[in-house]
Structures are given as structure tokens and as C-alpha cells.
């Protein structure tokens, strides 16, 4: 090969390599990278608990939630398109999928979506054979999911594998997270400990509430939900210096002036107080007193009938 041909060959080779690098960079969607950084710890945790490759969980989450941008993911924290099912007792949302207006699960935090995804695979008899594979065998898992009928898309397995290889997600299967990533995650946990164990959000009288756990404070809950801690105390008819107890109902918005329609009258039981009744039905304490023509000195007795609306 003479020098001219050698130069041309080198130029062609460099052009090819540049195009390959550009193509790889183009494939690395910024939203995908952001999603991976945010949810890799959850995927690794699920792998350690349930032996499902973190790469598979992340790739499915990316694919099925549109990197967290789908309506289900943004509004309901449902990253895997899990439908209600007959055993679901949590919040629901309606969404068009295979059919119109289908019922899907709604979560207060993506963590619960990841946990449900693991439970769905572990409890499904048709996926049992997958758990005999190594957690490093992401190709076997991807093809096995397709074989088991997880998705109707004929290219589903290949799409998972492409995502895993383009974004090097397989690294999470063998080592979990790098020391640097682990340090960053631990630092984040110290600043925001609720990310590891977020409170489940419930609904009463169309108002969101959580159940306090040991060690909770108004300040802690205020940081978790982005609400002024003084407002939380006010919403719940409590003094700012009140010490939260395990099991306390804490509303995240102001309570209403009366209970929802099915609840008209309440018969007082042992251990009840006007405050506990107001919390149970999401009624402002002053309105509960007012509609029953009672003053602040009134102490309910077992058998008393109280109006709730």
C-alpha cells in the first residue's frame, strides 16, 4: 500500500470511528442518563432482595415509562404500567392502554412501583424459570420475559438488550454500584432519609394523609412533602410543639368542614376524643364542635351520637 492509499485508508477509518462515536453519543439520551442515575439504587436494591437483574429492571422502567416522562409515571408514579388487578386495594387511575379507560395502580412514590414490579415477577408462575438464571445473564432474562409473554411486542427482548448495552446497565448486575455512586447515594440518604423509606399516602374525605412513624416530626414530614411544618400542625389542629406518635393521622392539606356523604352520624367508642374523630373523618375540629353545638369543654362519652355533616 503506497502512502496516498495509506492516508486515504486512515482517513476513512477515522471518519468511521467518529461516526460510531457520534452515533453512540446520540443514542445516549440525556433523559435516560438522568433516569438511570436517579433510579439505579432502587433497581440494585430490588436485585439484592429478589434476584432480578438491576439492568433488566432499569431497562424495563426506561422503556415502559418513557424515562419517567409517561403520564402514568409523572402523575401516578407507575413506572411499569402495572394494572389494578383484583387484589389491589390502593389508589387507582384510569388510562387508555390495550382498551379505553383501563384501571392502573397509582403510587405515592416510585419506590412502591419498583417493589410491585418485583412482586409481579416473583409471584407469576410463568416467570419462575427466570429465577434459575444468574443475575448477570441479562440476555437470558430479556429473552425469557418475551418468551413468558410479558410483552406482545416481538422486538421487546432486543429493545431491552439494546438499552442495557447502550447505557452499560450490566455493570449494576455484577457489582451493584461503584463506590463513587454508593457514596453519592449514601450522602443523598443522609440529607433526605425519606427517599429510602417514603411514607405511603392515603386518602380520606378526598384529602391526602400519612400515618406517622416512630421518630417522625412535623419538620421531617414537611421536608419530605415540601410543606411548611407549621402548616402541617395547623392542618391537623395540633400545637407546634406536639410530639408525633406512631399511628397518628397527619393530613397534608387543610381538612374540610364536614365528612364525605356516606358518613353522617358517628357513635362514640371507648378511647375516642373530638380530635381523633375529626382526624378519622378529615373534619376541622372547630367545625365538628360547631355542627354538634358543643363547646371546647365537651368530652365525648361512649354512646354519644355526633353529626359528621
CATH assignment at residue 287: 3.10.350.10
Residue 180 — pLDDT band, cuts 50, 70, 90?
confident
Say yes or no: 123 and 215 in one domain.
no
Least confident of 9-18, 44-53, 80-89: 9-18
Contact indicator for 201, 216 with CB cutoff of 8 Å: no
Contact indicator for 282, 300 with CB cutoff of 8 Å: no
How many angstroms separate the CA atoms of 176 and 55, rounded?
10
Residue 20 cell numbers, joined: 460510531
Nearest Cα to Cα of residue 289 among 275, 303, 302, 304:
275
How many angstroms separate the CA atoms of 105 and 96, rounded?
13
* pLDDT for position 173: 87
Say yes or no: 104 and 163 in one domain.
yes
Say yes or no: 271 and 174 in one domain.
no
* pLDDT for position 168: 87
How many angstroms separate the CA atoms of 234 and 232, rounded?
5
**b/e map 2-29, b = 16+ CB within 10 Å:** eeeeeeeeeeeeeeeeeeeeeeeeeeee
Say yes or no: 130 and 210 in one domain.
no
pLDDT tens per residue across span 19-72: 444 444 445 678 888 899 889 889 988 998 899 999 999 999 999 998 998 888
User: What is the side-by-side order of every strand in the sheet holding 249-251?
Assistant: 202-204, 207-211, 249-251
Residue 75 — pLDDT band, cuts 50, 70, 90?
confident
Is the residue at 231 inside a domain? Answer: yes
Is the residue at 163 inside a domain? Answer: yes
Say yes or no: 169 and 288 in one domain.
no
* pLDDT for position 23: 44
Contact indicator for 255, 278 with CB cutoff of 8 Å: yes
Of 214, 229, 251, the residue that ends a domain is 251
How many angstroms separate the CA atoms of 275 and 294, rounded?
13
Of 146, 178, 210, the residue that ends a domain is 178
Q: What angle do CA 252, 77, 191 make, to 5 degrees?
A: 65
Q: How many domains does the chain have?
A: 3
- E-strand ranges in the chain read 92-95, 102-105, 202-204, 207-211, 249-251, 265-267, 305-307
Neighbours of 119 (CB within 10 A): 13
Domain carrying residue 294: 265-307
Say yes or no: 173 and 33 in one domain.
yes
**What is the pTM assigned to this prediction?**
0.53
C-alpha of 182 from chain center? 20
Say yes or no: 86 and 133 in one domain.
yes
Is the residue at 123 inside a domain? Answer: yes
What residues pair up with 202 in beta bridges, in sequence order?
209
- Dihedral (CA of 268, 272, 277, 278) sign: positive
Contact indicator for 251, 207 with CB cutoff of 8 Å: yes
Say yes or no: 222 and 282 in one domain.
no
Least confident of 22-36, 99-113, 291-305: 22-36
Say yes or no: 97 and 172 in one domain.
yes
Cell 492516508 found at: 7
Say yes or no: 272 and 246 in one domain.
no
Amino acid at each position: 500500500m503506497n502512502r496516498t492509499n495509506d492516508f486515504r485508508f486512515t482517513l476513512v477509518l477515522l471518519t468511521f470511528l467518529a461516526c460510531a462515536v457520534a452515533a453512540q453519543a446520540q443514542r445516549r439520551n440525556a433523559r435516560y442518563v438522568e433516569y438511570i442515575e436517579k433510579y439505579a439504587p432502587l433497581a440494585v436494591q430490588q436485585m439484592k432482595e429478589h434476584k432480578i437483574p438491576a439492568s433488566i429492571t432499569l431497562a424495563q422502567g426506561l422503556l415502559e415509562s418513557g424515562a419517567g416522562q409517561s403520564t402514568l409515571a409523572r402523575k401516578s408514579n407507575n413506572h411499569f404500567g402495572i394494572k389494578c388487578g383484583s387484589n389491589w386495594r390502593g389508589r387507582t387511575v384510569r388510562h387508555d392502554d390495550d382498551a379505553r379507560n383501563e384501571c392502573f395502580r397509582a403510587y405515592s412514590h416510585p419506590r412502591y412501583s419498583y417493589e410491585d414490579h418485583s412482586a409481579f415477577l416473583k409471584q407469576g408462575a410463568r416467570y419462575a424459570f427466570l429465577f434459575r438464571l444468574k443475575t448477570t445473564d441479562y440476555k437470558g432474562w430479556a429473552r425469557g420475559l418475551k418468551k413468558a409473554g410479558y410483552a406482545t411486542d416481538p422486538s421487546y427482548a432486543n429493545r431491552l438488550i439494546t438499552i442495557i448495552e447502550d447505557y452499560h446497565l450490566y455493570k449494576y448486575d455484577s457489582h451493584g454500584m461503584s463506590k463513587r455512586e454508593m457514596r453519592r447515594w449514601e450522602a443523598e440518604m443522609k440529607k433526605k432519609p425519606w427517599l429510602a423509606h417514603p411514607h405511603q399516602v392515603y386518602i380520606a374525605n378526598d384529602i391526602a394523609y400519612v400515618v406517622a412513624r416512630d421518630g417522625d416530626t412535623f419538620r421531617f414530614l414537611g421536608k419530605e412533602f415540601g410543606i411548611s411544618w407549621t402548616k402541617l400542625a395547623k392542618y391537623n389542629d395540633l400545637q407546634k410543639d406536639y410530639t408525633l406518635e406512631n399511628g397518628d393521622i397527619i393530613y397534608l392539606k387543610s381538612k374540610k368542614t364536614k365528612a364525605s356523604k356516606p358518613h353522617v352520624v358517628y357513635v362514640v367508642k371507648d378511647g375516642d376524643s373530638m380530635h381523633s374523630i375529626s382526624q378519622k373523618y378529615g373534619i376541622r375540629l372547630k367545625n365538628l364542635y360547631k355542627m354538634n353545638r358543643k363547646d371546647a369543654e365537651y368530652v365525648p362519652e361512649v354512646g354519644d351520637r355526633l353529626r359528621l355533616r
